[in-house]
Structure 1
Amino acid sequence: MKLGIFGNHTKQQIVRMIKEHLEWIRNKGIEFYIEKELAEKMGVHIALENSIDCEDLAKKCEIVLVFGGDGTMLLAARKIGIFGVPILGINSGGLGFLTEVTPEELIENMERLLKKDYEIDNRILLEARKFGDDDRVLYALNDFVIDKGFYGRTLTIKVVIEGTYYNKYTSNGIIVSTATGSTAYSLSAGGPVLYPTLKDILITPICSHELAVRPLIVPGEYIIEIQVQLENYSISMYADGQAGFLLKNNQRVEIKRSEYSVNLVHFRERSFYQVLRKKLS
């Protein structure tokens, strides 16, 4: 097996944890590669001589271990998982909806990886592009969020679904999420929980001024177009709370299911419903 290692290199406890497990990996004779920035932070010869960038990590490895919290998993999904390589999250952060095992369970589950005793959960990605001054495409495993931020008024947000006008929200913003992201910001804004492997798209307004407005679930193949109306101001749209771009008055954004997806390593006895009950209780 060729194993990749990616992690939150800004936290020393995570860097130390990876160093500790690296010895076990070497003793098992497993071929491994480490993401370049992480290897530099580790500062040991064996890490540096096996360091490669994210794209090569995805292309060379059969599975990539991701050390960190859900934020690190979201970053790894866009940088590595987008190439199709399965990723296994080791929860070294907070809530841990996306991470599969704890550090204490890692050695046991590494043995299971070697025996191929695991399953793959395929999760959709969303992609967004704006019309006008920026031709970048952003990808999100959880969600795209438009939030008024420091803008002193509510936003007027026009939503068109599959070419048909749906609604104009008066709200503090809007969230367009995957089923995976339904347990993130959308849940806090009153959205429903979707089973994470569903391919649907969830639209959730943030603090809507209309009492009758509710979140909406649409088929995953539908294209959603959003247009924000504001005066002499720009606001941000973020992918998974990380990457993003600015939107000007009446600038249109198209959001749809991406042709790319992410494969997460899953162990059979870990039920989504058990995790949901534990995390939200």
Structure 2
Amino acid sequence: MLEHVIEARKASIGPGMDVRRILPFRLRRMLGPFIFMDHAGPVTIQPSAATKMDVLPHPHIGLSTVSYLFGGQVTHRDSTGAQQIIRPGEVNWMTAGSGIAHSERFEDPATLAGGTLEMIQTWVALPEKDEEAAPSFDNYQPHQLPIITDTGVWMRLIAGDAFGLKNDVKTHSPLFYLHVVLQPGARFGLPTGPSERGIYIAKGSVEVSGTTYPAGQLLVFSAGIDPIIQANEATTLLMLGGEPLGERFIWWNFVSSRKERIEQAKADWKAGRILLPPTDNLEFVPLPEDRSRPAGSPPPQALS
């Protein structure tokens, strides 16, 4: 029934910003098209230290970054000229395609001091035909993301297609991504269509087939299995998955079906051929040159 139980690992992406890294995992590099997943927060720091948490302009290729907040707010800027404050219940979907740079700034110190900043960052790999697409950015408001409720269950469709729900979030391959809140004792299932499916327990705990799983775990289920998920307490889940795209290579913030394309992206960033955001172009994250890591081991990724 369960193929993998993945424990989130602590990773640091900057001063004051530790995250729980879920994907990639050594035994499970991807879940459907999802190739990266971080859970940041809740974060509480002094307002004077907020700028130290900023994620400076950095590059991506071959993927879409998806930002979803439980609390707080983050300002996104990218090289298409997009500038967007994302708030809870919204979706920021940025498709890097052939190459984009973006930053994430924490410009509302009050949300940090109050301990309300909490977000999920995922990367969705692109099909080979879309890996070199023109970069784009879209923000989707809560009214564009359908919600359904049942006894003890609240659910929002972040992206894709599940349980008969659809929305206008532009995706490039079959997937589903849901925010689910369960009350104690509530029972819930997984979408039955996709071939790869999992749940990340953000808060609370669930019971599956008599075993309890706490927060900070990603449960990956076998195809064709329809488990019953029961909340032991008030629980928040992210359900995600879809159809696999085939092997992908990942190095720093670059994803591609071709190793040589990642080498080209390294050279492009180093040479300044990937443009910086026009409204945030005075600083950036340099290409990592960490010779202390084992050969072939990727440096830690930026937040998104």
TM-score range, shorter-chain basis? under 0.3
TM normalised by structure 1 equals 0.26
Relative contact order, higher structure (CA 8 A, sep 6+)? 2
Max Rg structure: 1
Structure (1/2) with the larger helix percentage: 1
TM normalised by structure 2 equals 0.25
